[in-house]
Structure 1
């Protein structure tokens, strides 16, 4: 009886949170007849390690970027790669770039090295396994020049596999949560695959110095440092997403997400703790009720909880997808929703024990 009451309450709160998120996402951004022409120079930092298989797609997308009305440079920071990445850079590339060696080990050190060399007064970061939309620089130019701009990132599902579809829909869930919480000035996450910030503000918060002991989490910790210092943070509105490559095995996906969860441990804003607790509670009640039915402790009617949770998630994903102009498939999203609580529980438990890497 107590568990049933807990499950009902958790579902009501969870549904209410998602409805509130969708309400925020539907708010229209103020219309600007003229783009913001504040003088900007931009340095795009791309840290990489053994990414020779992914760099060609990124380089091709950079070549196809529309020219912005500001100075831009691309800095590729090599973190001790052991592949033949240099063969990919040639005189055929039509953008200004430099390749430098990281002064340390790990992604934060690579980013720090690139930012120290950067000439721009704004920094943009992306990853070597990403594909940039052709209007990426134009979108940055047209945006309000706040201290930090957080752009949309979506996992590509172009290979048609269920694993990539699962990651794609998960990224849409996170996109909606990130965008909505930023709009109410309660940011919970940012992705280094599409992150723009003031170099001056970065230096003022101490860069990554306070978190060098954490191998991962450059984007998450920087967001929290900007927020704690009161710097302005906004969403890159009306922008096409940066696409990142899906991992190609369940083992790699679990390892990646475990690393991401571990980076959130420690001091977190109160609103992040509350939202995380709601998501944790509703997913674990689904897992417990399903296992309870399997072992015969609970009646089979409790399996409805999993179906209901998946249906709620599908409606949310459908709404976010429509709002952002992204692909949606009910069947694939529903299957992903059925599996998600068990995936979430697995990652949560493993994050208590596993370490992290680059």
Structure 2
């Protein structure tokens, strides 16, 4: 075996070991079940919205069906200059729902990103100590708040991240997105279990108001359109080590719509990928670079093989190392998320993924992207 072949194999081999570690971490992380004990926690649910007339009532009705005591939570819908009927629908629903529902009109903050501005202003107007955030296009189960409250009561965590997945629309597009997103949710969950949090998702995030204020909220990155979830989590993890947790419970699951076209998918993933260069924790940045380089090595292997610079045996070894343990890990996460039908598409996603990672890793180096009808930096 040549030196070149050995170098090319390093990336897939390290990835194989990394995926094995993720499998071990995922299996070691216990599933959480709601404890039927009196829970005094009072919750303020914050929902930033912009033009969500097609979705917002579905979420508000999900909250109407919560098993958690309706006297113990309020819902604040932070309307970010919607030009459709979002505000009208929320206002009308507030007159008939059995929980406290408020529609907030945001004031202008020129140096703050829209979503961070929405969350910050809603948080300052909230009545309760525990904050839960989700998005206007999400759906939640009837025990969602009960699961979060029970988990917080048991663990006393300062910040809790919950599972998120896409609706299975029965087509290849949504299922490919489900698989890709499961890799992010699963690896983020294991990292929190290891007390090395790196990622989370604002569609299912909760924390105490005191914790938010203790770390200065979104200060330091308020101008960045993305990161209302991850940058805050990193600050909490640095200030309060071991107090960032993932609730591994299907009762705490949040679902959202898969992207219907490549343009919206591209804009979101570019927005996500743009965050890595702003991370303050070198370990999180190093992980992003490792993922990028490991996938670059796979593409390099294919190119070298096509020019007869790499043997078929080495290419097959790369594929086995890269895909075997990764397939097992993704299967475990998808089963937990109730997305067993997407398991069959894992091999396809694995073939696409190296090109996907490299493409968005490079695309994120540019400036600006579109989101919710706005051009953001």
TM-score scaled by structure 1?
Answer: 0.91
Partner of 2:245: 234
Contact 2:29 2:190 in 1 (8 A): no
Q: How does 1:257-336 map to 2 (within 5 A)?
A: 257-294=269-306, 304=316, 305-306=318-319, 309-336=322-349
Report Cα offsets for 1:189-227 as digits up to 9, x if no partner: 111111110101101111112211211111011001101
Instruction: Determine the C-alpha separation between the residues in 2 that align with 1:330 and 1:270.
Output: 33
Tell me the distance in 2 between the aligned counterparts of 1:290 and 1:297: 10
C-alpha distance in 1, partners of 2:58/2:34?
34
Higher mean displacement: 173-182 or 312-321: 312-321
1:7 aligns with: 8
- Unaligned runs of 5+ residues in structure 1 are none
Tell me the alpha carbon deviations over residues 282-301 of structure 1, each in whole angstroms, 9 at most, x when there is no partner: 21111222344456665666
1:222 corresponds to: 232
**Cα gap change, 1:16 to 1:268, in 2 (>3 Å):** farther
Name the stretch that deviates more: 284-293 or 242-251. Answer: 284-293
Distance 1:294 1:243, change over 3 A: same
Q: Which residue of the partner structure matches residue 161 of structure 2?
A: 150
CA distance in 2, matches of 1:31, 1:263: 30
CA distance in structure 2 between the aligned counterparts of 1:155 and 1:265, rounded to whole angstroms = 27
The 1:41–1:33 alpha-carbon spacing in structure 2 relative to 1, beyond 3 Å, is closer
Identify the residue that residue 93 of structure 1 maps to in structure 2: 97
How many residue pairs get aligned? The number is: 357
Question: Residue 76 of structure 1 aligns to a residue in which SS?
Answer: strand
Structure 1 109/237 Cα, relative in aligned 2: closer, same or farther at 3 Å? same
- Select the structure with the greater relative contact order (CA < 8 A; seq sep ≥ 6): 2
Q: 1:6 to 1:142 in 2, by over 3 A?
A: same
Summarize the alignment of residues 117-128 of structure 1 with structure 2, pairs less than 5 Å apart: 117-128=125-136
Mapping for residues 48-197 of structure 1, pairs under 5 Å = 48-68=49-69, 71-89=72-90, 90=93, 91-104=95-108, 106-143=114-151, 144=154, 145-156=156-167, 158-197=168-207
Going from structure 1 to structure 2, the CA distance change for 1:36 and 1:258 (only over 3 Å counts) comes to farther
**C-alpha distance in 2 between matches for 1:31 and 1:264:** 31
Equivalent residues of 1:57, 1:131 under 8 A apart? yes
Residues 101 and 11 of structure 1: is their aligned pair in 2 closer, same or farther, counting only changes over 3 Å?
same
Measure the CA separation in 2 of the matches of 1:248 and 1:309.
Answer: 29
3-state SS of 1:15 partner: helix
TM-score, with structure 2 as normaliser: 0.86
* Whole-angstrom distance in 1 between the partners of 2:247 and 2:362: 34
Q: Are residues 1:250 and 2:251 paired? A: no
The unaligned stretches of length 5 or more in structure 2 are 372-377
Q: In 2, distance between residues paired with 1:15 and 1:277?
A: 16
CA offsets per residue over residues 46-87 of structure 1, 9 Å max, x none? 001112122233223222222348610000001111111134
Distance verdict in 2 for CA 1:64–1:291, change over 3 Å = farther
1:259-286 deviation per Cα after TM superposition (whole angstroms, max 9, x unaligned): 1111222234243233323321221111
